[in-house]
Amino acid sequence: MSTVLALATVPVLMAAGLLALMKVPTHLQLTVTDTALIIEPQGLDRWWTRRERIEVPLTTVSSIRIVPRSETPALGGRHGGLHLDGIITAGVFGGTFWDVRRGDQLLMIRCHPGSEFTTLVLQFANPFATLTRTRTVVAHKGSRSTSV
């Protein structure tokens, strides 16, 4: 009986561990160059989003702003990623790239029609600072690159 109990607890412990890991904040690197926004998921975010790098040409960016979760696009068809309602949305869903945990203030990047993604929804520890730095570089399309 104790072997059965021990075997039954293994999946429960694994699920609890996975949920605990999902509470860890997103780990993204956003770099802005003269020509592109480069988003690089780090650590487990690479696994959950199934992406190592996304390059968005600046010419395809139509807007960058902070929005509450309630203003983000609805999840469309699944192309690859992980979604557990209210816990994590990571990957590509209906043309939108997501890397979000439980945050409410999210950085939303809209792209022009015909781009690889229609929208990117990203969570950062300080989304307002990320927005300010990103908009500044995008507006100037400076000759240097900066990471945020």
The residue ranges of every structural domain in the chain are 25-147
* pLDDT confidence of residue 120: 96
- At a CB cut-off of 8 Å and minimum separation 6, what does 92 contact? 49, 50, 51, 78, 79, 80, 81, 98, 117
> pTM (2 decimals)?
0.80
pLDDT of residue 21: 59
Over the chain (148 residues), what is each successive 10-residue block's mean pLDDT?
A: 71 71 76 92 90 94 93 79 85 93 92 94 91 79 48
pLDDT at 143: 42
